[in-house]
């Protein structure tokens, strides 16, 4: 069948789907996820979302009330002399000489020898001193003493979260404010306890839990250069420093993603390399076209993946047609037709490439698996071969005649 436009259309109508490359060749080394082959989504770092602006909600400001003695506090009775030496009063402190004081017990009272139990819980220091003065007078004891609180144990607040030293802090005679409590806990620190340089105060929320209510303020406001609001703390308050965007975790997550991407890229490259090695060992199923005749290199021509090859690709690959012996007027493509009215018949398409316009058809003619491309020998090449085979015979005969003469 002469190869013309109609023949090209008929040949190209033969159904064929090029083989696909493995999926690994279409994947890119993006950040892996749970669906990435060969990788599990087990990550010590999670993606950190930078929070929006932190709103401020604070309790109503109050005037610091006087400290009131509570259960668990330790009070001390003392008489100062000119040298500020503490003397015992009639041996009253001997019972608790290690502490030199009295613990306010569960009923709110302290037990003083020769005086009895005196309830001072809930009183200010001045009120408790007056109460003890009256009890001393009633017991006919010289009331020359001073009352001090040696240990504050009845009222506490807690500080936790992104601070260097989470702790319980006592409320003492000096009013305790929110910023002071955080400073006493070592100040704000990242979750990894790294330096202050890794902290963005604008993303840190100071939260205060009190009586079922939650209050908060940005750390950048509380510790601003102009000074933040003074928030008075009271017994039972819980302070939590919430670093909503810890920079070292965000940086760790980024580093982790880079390493995972590099690992994934290496994995892809290894799989691709393995596939290429299998191709070199001819261990991969391929489709081939077979070319022989007067071509520079006879043998199999592998059809490419994911696209079709043309007759021109086969003819001009690996040196193309032999320019001396090849007859460009007689190029044939033999194809077995598995479909159609006569299945398994062989169709021969003939191309005269000496006609340059028809050479364009070679670029449009699509190859199919197991096609055979044959380039015939030029007639002059046949004559040259006959002569080259005869000439050695003439030489031998002449040599023989000379030997016998």
Same domain flag for 378 and 294: yes
Domain that holds residue 255: 23-44+251-280
Same domain flag for 203 and 134: no
Same domain flag for 82 and 121: yes
Q: Is position 139 within any domain?
A: yes
Q: Average pLDDT for residues 297-322, to the nearest whole number?
A: 91
pLDDT digits (tens, 9 = 90+) for 297-308: 999 999 999 999
Q: Is position 306 within any domain?
A: yes
State yes or no: pLDDT of 70 exceeds 60: yes
State yes or no: pLDDT of 154 exceeds 50: yes
Q: Is position 316 within any domain?
A: yes
pLDDT for 319 equals 84
Q: How much of the chain, in percent, has pLDDT values that exceed 90?
A: 41
Q: Which of 227, 245, 263 is the last residue of a domain?
A: 245
pLDDT digits (tens, 9 = 90+) for 99-128: 458 999 999 999 988 889 999 999 999 999
Tell me the average pLDDT of the chain.
Answer: 80
Cβ–Cβ < 8 Å for 181, 239: yes
8-13, long-range: CB within 8 Å, 24+ apart, which pairs?
Answer: 8/361, 8/364, 8/365, 11/333, 11/335, 11/347, 11/349, 11/365, 11/366, 11/368, 12/364, 12/365, 12/366
Domain of 107: which CATH number?
A: 3.30.1950.10
pLDDT for 310 equals 94
pLDDT for 391 equals 58
Q: Average pLDDT for residues 309-336, to the nearest whole number?
A: 89
Q: Average pLDDT for residues 9-25, to the nearest whole number?
A: 86
286-296 burial, b for 16+ CB within 10 Å, e for fewer? ebebebebbbe
Q: Which of 262, 280, 298 is the last residue of a domain?
A: 280
Which contiguous run of DSSP H or E holds residue 33? none
In whole angstroms, what is the distance from residue 132 CA to residue 111 CA? 11
pLDDT for 379 equals 72
In whole angstroms, what is the distance from residue 46 CA to residue 35 CA? 17
pLDDT for 88 equals 47
State yes or no: pLDDT of 404 exceeds 70: no
Q: Is position 394 within any domain?
A: no
pLDDT for 356 equals 81
State yes or no: pLDDT of 34 exceeds 90: no
State yes or no: pLDDT of 74 exceeds 90: yes
Q: Average pLDDT for residues 158-172, to the nearest whole number?
A: 93
Domain of 291: which CATH number?
A: 3.10.560.10
Same domain flag for 269 and 329: no
Q: Which of 113, 135, 151 is the last residue of a domain?
A: 151
State yes or no: pLDDT of 51 exceeds 70: no
pLDDT category, 32, cuts 50, 70, 90? low
Same domain flag for 178 and 227: yes
Q: Average pLDDT for residues 33-44, to the nearest whole number?
A: 51
Q: Is position 134 within any domain?
A: yes
Same domain flag for 114 and 160: no
Same domain flag for 289 and 259: no
How far, CA to CA in Å, does 156 sit from each of 141, 142, 245? Answer: 35, 35, 29
Longest dimension (CA), the chain: 170
Q: Average pLDDT for residues 66-80, to the nearest whole number?
A: 86
Which backbone phi and psi does 239 adopt, to 5 degrees? Answer: -110, 130
Answering whether pTM is above 0.75, one says no
State yes or no: pLDDT of 64 exceeds 60: yes
Same domain flag for 80 and 27: no
Q: How much of the chain, in percent, has pLDDT values that exceed 70?
A: 75
Q: Which tops the pLDDT comparison, 283 or 195?
A: 283
- Six-digit token string for 145: 């003493």
In whole angstroms, what is the distance from residue 149 CA to residue 101 CA? 9
Q: Is position 217 within any domain?
A: yes
Q: 3-state DSSP call for residue 15?
A: coil
In whole angstroms, what is the distance from residue 207 CA to residue 178 CA? 10
- Six-digit token string for 249: 């975790």
pLDDT category, 151, cuts 50, 70, 90? very high
Q: Is position 69 within any domain?
A: no
In whole angstroms, what is the distance from residue 221 CA to residue 229 CA? 8
Q: Is position 210 within any domain?
A: yes
Q: Which tops the pLDDT comparison, 294 or 379?
A: 294
Please report the DSSP string for 226-257 in residue order. T-----B--TT-EEEEEESS-HHHHHHHHHHH
Same domain flag for 125 and 166: no
The alpha-helical segments, DSSP class H, found in 151-295 are 178-184, 219-222, 247-280
Cβ–Cβ < 8 Å for 123, 69: yes
Q: Which tops the pLDDT comparison, 191 or 218?
A: 218
Same domain flag for 166 and 115: no
Same domain flag for 229 and 270: no
Number of domains comprising the chain: 4
Strand order in the sheet with 345-351: 299-302, 288-293, 372-377, 326-337, 345-351
Same domain flag for 103 and 181: no
């Amino acid at each position: 069948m002469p190869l013309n436009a109609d023949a090209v259309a008929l040949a190209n109508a033969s159904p064929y789907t090029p083989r696909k490359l493995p999926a690994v060749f279409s994947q890119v080394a993006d950040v892996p996820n749970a669906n990435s082959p060969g990788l599990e989504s087990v990550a010590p770092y999670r993606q950190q979302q930078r929070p929006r602006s932190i709103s401020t909600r604070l309790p109503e400001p109050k005037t610091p009330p006087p400290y009131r003695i509570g259960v668990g506090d330790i009070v001390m009775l003392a008489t100062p002399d000119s040298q500020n030496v503490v003397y015992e009063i009639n041996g009253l402190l001997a019972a608790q000489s290690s502490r030199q004081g009295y613990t306010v017990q569960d009923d709110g009272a302290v037990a003083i020898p020769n005086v009895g139990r005196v309830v001072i819980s809930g009183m200010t220091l001045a009120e408790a001193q007056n109460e003890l003065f009256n009890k001393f007078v009633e017991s006919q004891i010289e009331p020359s003493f001073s009352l001090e609180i040696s240990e504050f144990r009845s009222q506490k607040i807690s500080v936790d979260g992104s601070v260097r030293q989470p702790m319980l802090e006592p409320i003492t005679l000096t009013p305790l404010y929110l910023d002071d409590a955080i400073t006493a806990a070592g100040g704000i620190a990242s979750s990894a306890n790294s330096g202050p340089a890794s902290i963005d105060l604008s993303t840190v929320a100071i939260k205060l839990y009190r009586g079922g209510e939650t209050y908060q303020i940005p750390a950048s406001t509380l510790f601003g250069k102009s000074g933040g609001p003074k928030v008075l703390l009271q017994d039972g308050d819980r302070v939590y420093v919430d670093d909503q965007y810890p920079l070292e975790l965000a940086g760790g997550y980024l580093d982790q993603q880079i390493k995972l991407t590099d690992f994934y890229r290496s994995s892809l490259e290894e799989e691709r390399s393995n596939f290429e090695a299998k191709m070199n060992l001819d261990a991969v199923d391929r489709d081939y076209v077979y070319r022989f005749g007067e071509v520079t290199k006879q043998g199999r021509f592998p059809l490419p993946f994911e696209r079709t090859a043309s007759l021109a690709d086969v003819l001009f690959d690996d040196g193309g047609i032999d320019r001396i012996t090849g007859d460009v007027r007689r190029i044939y493509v033999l194809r077995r037709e598995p479909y159609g009215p006569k299945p398994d018949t062989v169709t021969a398409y003939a191309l005269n490439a000496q006609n340059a316009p028809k050479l364009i058809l070679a670029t449009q003619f699509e190859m199919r698996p197991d096609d055979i491309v044959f380039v015939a020998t030029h007639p002059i090449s046949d004559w040259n071969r006959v002569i080259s085979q005869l000439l050695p015979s003439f030489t031998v005969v002449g040599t023989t005649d000379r030997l016998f003469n």
